Amino acid sequence: MATIDLRGVTCPTNFVKAKLELEEIETGTTVEFLLDDGEPVKNVPRSLKAEGHKLLGLKETDGYYVLTIEKGED
């Protein structure tokens, strides 16, 4: 499983980076994104879901969040 660290990246740049990373990954692949609290953890999951990706989980770990998704169809 790929892990993409977006901690320290501000909105909306973190969503743009997440989208670019997903373009390189096969449909159906599970990916973890590391996100900061606040706007990133509110906006990135919602935006990725709107793009057609399946949200599998979101958990807080040591002051940041781990968002797990399954890549949807391109």
Report d(CA 17, CA 8) in Å as an integer. Answer: 12
Q: Which of 4, 11, 34, 66 is catalytic?
A: 11
Q: Which of 25, 24, 21 lies closest to 13 in space, CA to CA?
A: 21
Please say whether the beta carbons of 52 and 20 come within 8 A: no
2 is catalytic: no
Q: Which residues are catalytic?
A: 11
